[in-house]
Amino acid sequence: MITHELLPQASAGRPGRVIVLNGTSSSGKSSIAKELLDVLEDVWYHVPIDRFHQMRARREWTDEAFLPVFQKTVLGFHRAVAGMAAAGNNVVADYVLGERWRLADCLDVLKDVPVLLVGVRCSLAELERREAERGNRTIGRAAMQFPVVHQHGVYDVEVDTERNSPRECALMIRDRLAAAPPTAFDQLRRR
């Protein structure tokens, strides 16, 4: 019989953990996230920013009209990740921390949540090759994001998807998660 009462462990108030995979488009974040769901203990949710953009109504936007829509989508994504974690869920968020306002908002919204910040790296030449091969990405997006996505410079762990498979990257992240509490978000808040 299914009960509709809230189970005690669901209302315990302990936040879940968040892994933020930060890298450019086509860097391999989603592939790593899928592997993380397989190698991590406990229940984890993959929450990609791309899904939030896909949920939005399709319109013909001018750049000026689209900017506030884009920004509100990103701010909503941050709050959705924080809300999942606040309810005790573990979240793997794949994301692009391109502009400084994104990082500042993440640092604020996720202040009460343990966040492991992962740098997902790959050479620009490889990113451009993947972008062209995939056929479902805007050509040039990775090149545009490349100089800014890692500008904050602090990570708990970095992985290279050109040298390592998604599974190997996931195992490195799993091992770092188990080794010690994350510190990158705290270091970035102190700046």
**Which pLDDT tens digit goes with each residue over 13-44?**
689 999 999 999 899 999 999 999 999 999 99
Query: Are the C-beta atoms of residues 142 and 132 closer than 8 Å to each other?
Result: no
Which listed residue (38, 50, 63, 112) is catalytic?
50
The average pLDDT across 154-166 equals 98
Give a yes or no: residue 69 inside a domain: yes
In a domain, 80, yes or no: yes
Which of 104-113, 137-146, 178-187 is predicted with the least confidence, judged by mean pLDDT?
Answer: 137-146
Residue 146 has pLDDT above 60, yes or no: yes
* CB neighbour list of residue 112: distance below 8 Å, 6 or more residues apart: 15, 86
pLDDT band with cut points at 50, 70 and 90 for residue 9: low
Asked if the structure places residue 2 within a domain, the reply is no
Distance of CA 45 to the CA centre of its chain: 11
Asked whether residue 1 is assigned to any structural domain, the reply reads no
Q: pLDDT tens across 117-131, in order? A: 999 999 999 999 998
Report how many domains make up the chain. Answer: 1
Residue 54 lies in a domain: yes
What is the side-by-side strand order in the sheet with 90-95? 44-48, 90-95, 18-22, 115-121, 157-160
pTM to 2 decimals? Answer: 0.90
Residue 62 lies in a domain: yes
CATH code: domain of residue 44: 3.40.50.300
Stretch 74-92: mean pLDDT, rounded?
96
* Structure token digits, residue 165: 């498979």
What is the domain extent for residue 79? 8-190
What does the pLDDT read at residue 154? 96
Domain assignment of residue 136, yes or no: yes
* Strand (E) or helix (H) holding 153: none
- Residue at 85 is within a domain: yes
Question: Is residue 50 flagged as an active site residue?
Answer: yes
